[in-house]
A and B are shown apart, each in its own frame.
Chain A
């Protein structure tokens, strides 16, 4: 919804008041003894209030590291964000102190990870973990916090929430733990939720339950979601817009139906064509030859050029700029100059 109404959406749109997150030219590298791994190399996107933006790509394309850079939760040691801005309601959070960041996380930006086990503390009951999240926001009294905790569990469709409060993570199934994480996130009332493959570890029928739940919560709270996934089905189901990443860069970005119906970048086209379908022919699947490039030794030109059936000399030599290919739809491909 609402994409049609939103007129212009360029990556560099000035901080209009419905833009909650504006990431500009983000570069996060790993500095290793063997060399520099350019995992996120010039990523820009915006997220509007109440919008769901999908970030898709294959493993190693930098989508998770983009999220961790925004949260400023990079793995300690070698990884550093060396360039760019992350504007949260117009304020660059890359310049915040660790204490200020701690206030922002959970309150303004929250995150759901693939494995709910890593988000929950095994030695505390889920009631205690929920109460902590609620009390940090309200600072309120025990009785109100308790009532709100029960309410939070009810909102994520957990039956008999009063009893569940006393239970520990290991007493729950994966789907239920992921819902508890959802309850904790919601109780912090964040403006932005970053969901990093939240359903990848779940079975398909449980995945559908969870996606419906997330969608309902999103509509109730009007929070913006950055939805990271490798699954086009999930993107189609959940997102308003989608950004496709390849080798550390966003190569195409636009409204979901436009990108899916008329993908512009050859990588997006190939990726969509190679997914096995539930209808139509079962003949040979389309394949992309070769492997993604090493992030330590990136091609100078377009990163997809070595695997691209349309690549010419220019593609190999110069990285293409973002061309506008439709309303709020951009693609980094030299072939777009003609059209």
Chain B
């Protein structure tokens, strides 16, 4: 060990994480009129966010509707170009990829979406759906593709002979397994899971969460888990980032975050989680009002209009995301002042 100052984490020989998102913004112009359209303003869906995901790790992205978590996942899936900022996968910028490079990227970064009813083609057998990406990328001959499809069905807990069935013959939980199987087909490094279990029933939800963890343990695939349910994130994620109105307000190792919540918005989110036991009633922080429009976000700290701990400087000065405890970042004047 002599002479070594830094030990790289396994799987990252050059210290570069699997995915690096740096100061990314995505603004959508709001226009009026068709010809001679006027730009009325910018919807700041995502506004200057940075994070990394290491190989084989799960980052949970939590927030309420309209906070920009879905836009973030679309940016990472390369379905949208950021207005500003950069995203790197394995050290390569993902912007402006074309042809084979883009196809390569699509193979490495896959997605499973919330609604298991709309994400599968009803006219294709599930075997064909799972094989689709293998066929498109010329993965192998017929026989080897069929074998791979069988393996994938095995992996997600379905029977091999179910490959010839159509999506309507499956339940919601099974469809979500099929969507996962097709996402896994090309052995991606990262899967974006956009609310993967929120449409499922309680008993099926637990099965799916266990399956996702098993697959991660075996294939060292990384997940970006977009979810609104904190308990789900707690069970799945290594790190958790909390978003509010296009900003990350708190980011920490999941355990550290659940042990010690720093940002008032995160506190409110936590207190809104209803414990499934009547005797565990906690102090509730009930936020007043609703999430302001991202078209015209409040000045200073975006949460100051609803924050129970608001101070004078909050409406003027935008707090920066700072490291408060080791690895635990929060953007709040309460913690930077002291």
Residue in contact with B276 in the complex, picked from A176, A209, A236, A257, CB distance below 8 Å: A236
Is A230 among interface residues, defined by CB-CB distance under 8 A?
yes
CA distance A171 to B268 in the complex (A): 26
- Judging by beta carbons under 8 Å apart, are B276 and A260 in contact? yes
The smallest C-beta distance from A281 to any residue of chain B, in angstroms, reads 9
Closest to B231 in A: A276
A287 touches B202 (CB 8 A): no
Q: A176-B290, A287-B206 are in contact. Are A275 and B231 (CB under 8 A)?
A: yes
Interface contact B209-A233, CB-CB below 8 Å: no
Complex-state Cα separation, A234 to B205, whole angstroms? 18
The chain B residue with its CB closest to the CB of A258 is B278
Chain A 220-234 interface mask (CB, 8 Å, partner B; 1/0) = 000000000011111
The bracket for how many chain A residues form the interface is 35 or more
Contacts of A173 in B (CB 8 A): 290
Interface digits, A275-302 against B, CB 8 Å rule (1 contact, 0 not)? 1111000101111100100000000000
Stretch of A144-152, A184-192, A199-207, A320-328 on the interface side: A199-207
Q: In the complex, what residues of B have CB within 8 A of residue A101's CB?
A: none
Given the interface pairs A59-B201, A285-B235, the reply to whether A208 lies near B64 with Cβ below 8 Å is no
Q: Does A197 contact B (CB under 8 A)?
A: no
Q: Which residues of A contact B320 (CB under 8 A)?
A: none
List, in ascending order, chain B residues with CB within 8 A of A232's CB: 202, 276
Stretch at the interface among A10-18, A79-87, A266-274: A266-274
Specify which chain B residues have a CB less than 8 angstroms from the CB of A115 in the assembled complex: none
Verify A237–B274 contact, CB threshold 8 A.
yes
- The bracket for how many chain B residues form the interface is 35 or more
- Mostly, the A contact residues are helix
Known: A203-B64, A278-B230. A236 touches B202 (CB 8 A): no
Cβ of A42 < 8 Å from any Cβ of B?
no
B65 within 8 A of A: yes
Please state if A274 and B203 are interface contacts (CB–CB under 8 Å). Answer: yes
Contacts of A209 in B (CB 8 A): 286-287
Q: Given A257-B279, A276-B209, answer yes or no on A236-B274 (Cβ-Cβ < 8 Å).
A: yes
Is A58's CB within 8 Å of the partner chain B?
A: yes
Q: Complex Cα distance A225/B309, Å?
A: 35
Chain A residue contacts of B173, Cβ below 8 A? 291
CA of A232 to CA of B230, assembled, Å? 15
B166 part of interface (Cβ distance < 8 Å) = no
Given contacts A203-B228, A206-B290, A236-B274, contact A278 B203 (CB under 8 A): no
Asked if A175 is at the interface of the complex by the 8 Å CB criterion, the answer is yes
User: When chains A and B are docked, how far (Å) is the Cα of A282 from the Cα of B235?
Assistant: 5
A173 → chain B, closest Cβ, in Å? Answer: 6
* Pair A260/B207 contact, Cβ less than 8 Å: no
- Complex contact B276–A287 (CB within 8 A): no
B51 at the interface (CB under 8 A from A): no
Any B CB within 8 A of the CB of A256: yes
Q: Is the CB of A205 within 8 A of B206?
A: no
What would 14 more interface pairs be, CB under 8 Å, given A208-B271, A232-B276?
A: A59-B172, A173-B290, A205-B64, A208-B284, A209-B287, A212-B284, A230-B201, A231-B274, A236-B274, A257-B278, A274-B206, A278-B270, A285-B209, A291-B171
Top-8 shortest CB links A-B? A233-B274, A232-B276, A285-B206, A203-B64, A58-B201, A274-B206, A276-B231, A288-B203
Question: Which residues of A approach B to under 8 Å, CB–CB?
Answer: 58-59, 173, 175-176, 203-209, 211-212, 230-237, 256-257, 260-261, 270-272, 274-278, 282, 284-288, 291
